[in-house]
Chains A and B, each alone.
Chain A
Amino acid sequence: MASRKTPLVATSWFPLTVGALTFVAIGVIFEILLRTDVLNRYIIPLPSEVLLAFERIVVEEGVLTRTGVSAFEVLTAGLACVIVGVPLGVLLYRFDIVRRALEDWIAALAAAPIVLAFPLFLVLFGRGSTTVIVIAFAYGLAPVVLKTLEGLIETRRVLINVGKSLNMSQTQMFWKILFPSAIPSIFTGIRLSWTFCVIAVIGVEFLVNLGGLGQLINDLAERYDMPGTYAGIGFVILVSVIFFIILEWIEKWLQPAR
C-alpha cells in the first residue's frame, strides 16, 4: 500500500518558510518603492543597506557588549518581578483585606505610563543601570502579581475538595494543589512581565541615552545613520524573538503535562 503523503501545509517547516518569504517579499517591495522614489530614502533606508549595516553595528558599535548590558538589565528586572510578584500575589490571595487594599492599585500600575517619571528615577537612583532596572521592574511587576492571584483564585473547586477529603493541612493544600494549579497562569504573568521589561529597558536606554541596545539606536539615530538605526532596531527584534523562544522552551520543560 502506498504511504500517504503529508499535505504541504501540514509540514512543520511550511509556516516558517511562508513567514521568511513574506519577510523577504516585504523587503523586496520596499527596495523597489525606494529605488523608484515612491518612498523617501531620507526617512526609510534601502533594505539592502540595512542588511549591510548589520555587519557594521556588530564590528564597529560593540553590539554584543551592549546586548549583554541590556540582557543583564532585563534579567535582573524580570527575576525581581518574579521574586517579589509571586509572593505578593499569594499574599493578596491569602489575605482578603490586603487584596481589597492593593489589587486596584496594582492593576492601575500596569496601565500607568511610568516611563514618563524617568527624571524622578534618575534623581533617586542615578544615571546608570539601576535606574533602568527599577523602571523595568515597576513595569513588569503588575502582571506577575495579578496572574498569580488569578491562578490561585481559579483553582478548580473539585481539586480543593479532593485535598479536603484527604485531610490535607493548609500548607499541603497550598504546595500540592493551589500552587501547581496556578503555575500556568503564573507563567502567563511572567511572559507578559518580561515582555514589559524588554520594552522598558530598551525604551529607557533610548530615552536617557544610557547603556545597552536602546542607547545604540539613539546614538545611530542622532548620527542620522538610518541604515544603522534600522539594523539596530532589527537586531533588538531578533534578540527579543530568541529571548521569547528560549522562555517558551523553559516553560514547556517545566510543565511537561501541558
Chain B
Amino acid sequence: MTSVETKSRAAGKPETGQPVLIIDDVVKTFGDAEEAVTAVDHVSFNVKQGEFVAVIGPSGCGKSTLFNIIGGLLGEYDGNVMIDDERISGPHPAVGMVFQEESTFPWRSVIDNVAFPLELRGVAKSERYDRARHFIGLVGLDGFEKRFPSQLSGGMKQRVSIARTLVSNPRILLMDEPFAALDEQTRLLLGDKITQIQQELKQTTLLITHNLTEAVQLSDRIVVMTYRPGKVKRIADINLQRPRTSDVVGSDAFGHYVAEIWNDLREEASRGMQETEQVARADRRHG
C-alpha cells in the first residue's frame, strides 16, 4: 500500500477494538398483519475496528435481510444499526458492499470497473487509475487491467468487485456470500486473498455466509443465527492464529471450531429442511 493510502485509512478510522458497527435489537418483518413474516428477530451484536466477523445460518435465517439493512438497501426496520452514532436508514459512505451475485459492469474494463466509485466522486483520471491499479494488484489481478469481465473467470470477477468496493476506502467491508458461486478450491484460495487484504489493511469486515469452513477460515468471531425467525443463537470467538492462511484448514483447532459451530447449526439447518419439505408436501397436496 502507498503511504498516502495508509495515512488516509489510518486517519479515518477509530482505534482497533472500538465497535464501529453496532447492531442493536434489530427486527425486520415483511408482509401485513396476519401474513407477516419476521425475517430478523431482535438481533444484536457489534463489529469492532479491524475485526472480521461472519454471520452464519441456514437458508431462510434472515442473513441477506440483515445484509440489506446494514447496507442501507432496506430503509425501514425496528431497532438500530449504528455507525458513528448515526442510525443507518440508507446507504452509508462508511459501508462498502460486495454482493453474492456477480456484479461487475460488463461494458467496463477491469480498471474502469475498479475506478468507478472514484469516477462518481469526480477524482481525476490519472489519480483514480493509480488507486485502481493499487487495488487491482492487491486482489492479485495485475496485468488484467484492460480486460473486460467477459474475459475473466467467476473468481476473478468477484475479485474485481472486491477491489471496486475497497477503492472507496470503506471503513466497513460488508460481503454477502461473495464466493457462493465458486468451486471449493477457488473459494479457499480467495479466502487466503481476503485474509491477506484484511490483515494488510486492518479492514473491518462483516461476512454473511452459509459456508461453515469459510466462516471459520476467515473470522475472528462468528454470529450463529437460528432458522426463521432469524435470532442470534450464539456468538463464537475463533482464536486461530493470525496471520492466517488456508493451511489452517488442516489444523486440529480448525476442525474443533467447525465441529462446535456445526453442533449449533445442525438443529437449525434440520428445522429449515423440515419446514421446506412440509411446505413442498402441502403445495403438492393442494395441487
**What residues of chain A have their CB less than 8 Å away from a CB belonging to chain B?**
156, 158-159, 161-162, 164-168, 172, 176-177, 180-181, 183, 255-258
Known: A158-B99, A165-B71. A257 touches B120 (CB 8 A): no
B161 to A, closest residue via Cβ: A162
- Inter-subunit contact B91/A164 (CB<8 Å): yes
- Inter-subunit contact A257/B149 (CB<8 Å): yes
- Inter-subunit contact A164/B73 (CB<8 Å): yes
Known: A158-B103, A162-B99, A165-B97. A257 touches B91 (CB 8 A): no
A166 touches which one: B106, B107, B120 (CB < 8 A)?
A: B120
B105 touches which one: A164, A172, A177 (CB < 8 A)?
A: A177
- Inter-subunit contact B107/A158 (CB<8 Å): no
CA distance A165 to B69 in the complex (A): 11
* Distance between A189 CB and nearest chain B CB, rounded to angstroms: 17
- Inter-subunit contact A167/B91 (CB<8 Å): yes
CA distance A159 to B106 in the complex (A): 10
Q: Inside 8 A of A176's CB, which chain B residues have their CB?
A: 116, 120
A165 touches which one: B91, B148, B149, B150 (CB < 8 A)?
A: B91
- Inter-subunit contact A183/B107 (CB<8 Å): yes
B255 on interface, CB distance cutoff 8 Å: no
Q: Inside 8 A of A177's CB, which chain B residues have their CB?
A: 105
- Inter-subunit contact B101/A257 (CB<8 Å): no
Query: How many A-B residue contacts, CB cutoff 8 Å?
Result: 56
Known: A167-B91, A256-B148, A257-B150. A162 touches B103 (CB 8 A): yes
- Inter-subunit contact B73/A159 (CB<8 Å): no
Q: Inside 8 A of A162's CB, which chain B residues have their CB?
A: 97, 99, 103
- Inter-subunit contact A181/B107 (CB<8 Å): yes
Q: Inside 8 A of B103's CB, which chain A residues have their CB?
A: 156, 158-159, 161-162
Q: Inside 8 A of A258's CB, which chain B residues have their CB?
A: 106-107, 150
A167 touches which one: B93, B106, B109, B116 (CB < 8 A)?
A: B93
Within 8 A of A (CB), among B75-130: 90-91, 93, 95-97, 99, 101-103, 105-109, 116-117, 120
B151 to A, closest residue via Cβ: A257
Known: A257-B108, A257-B149. A165 touches B95 (CB 8 A): yes
A180 to B, closest residue via Cβ: B107
- Inter-subunit contact B120/A180 (CB<8 Å): no
- Inter-subunit contact B97/A257 (CB<8 Å): no
| B: interface residue count bin | 20 to 34
B72 on interface, CB distance cutoff 8 Å: yes
Q: Inside 8 A of B106's CB, which chain A residues have their CB?
A: 257-258
* Distance between B114 CB and nearest chain A CB, rounded to angstroms: 13
What 9 additional pairs, Cβ within 8 angstroms, besides A159-B105, A165-B96? A158-B99, A161-B99, A162-B103, A164-B72, A165-B95, A165-B97, A166-B120, A166-B168, A256-B148
Q: Inside 8 A of A165's CB, which chain B residues have their CB?
A: 71-73, 91, 95-97
Q: Inside 8 A of B101's CB, which chain A residues have their CB?
A: 156, 158
Q: Inside 8 A of B71's CB, which chain A residues have their CB?
A: 165
Known: A158-B101, A164-B91, A257-B106. A172 touches B148 (CB 8 A): no
Q: Inside 8 A of A164's CB, which chain B residues have their CB?
A: 72-73, 91
CA distance A172 to B121 in the complex (A): 11
Within 8 A of A (CB), among B134-150: 148-150
**A-B pairs with lowest CB-CB distance, top 7:** A257-B148, A158-B101, A165-B97, A158-B103, A180-B107, A257-B107, A167-B91
CA distance A255 to B99 in the complex (A): 25
B174 to A, closest residue via Cβ: A165
* Distance between B207 CB and nearest chain A CB, rounded to angstroms: 16
CA distance A159 to B72 in the complex (A): 15
**What are 11 A-B contacts with C-beta separation under 8 Å?**
A161-B97, A162-B97, A165-B71, A165-B72, A165-B96, A167-B90, A176-B116, A177-B105, A180-B108, A257-B109, A258-B150
CA distance A162 to B96 in the complex (A): 10
CA distance A166 to B72 in the complex (A): 11
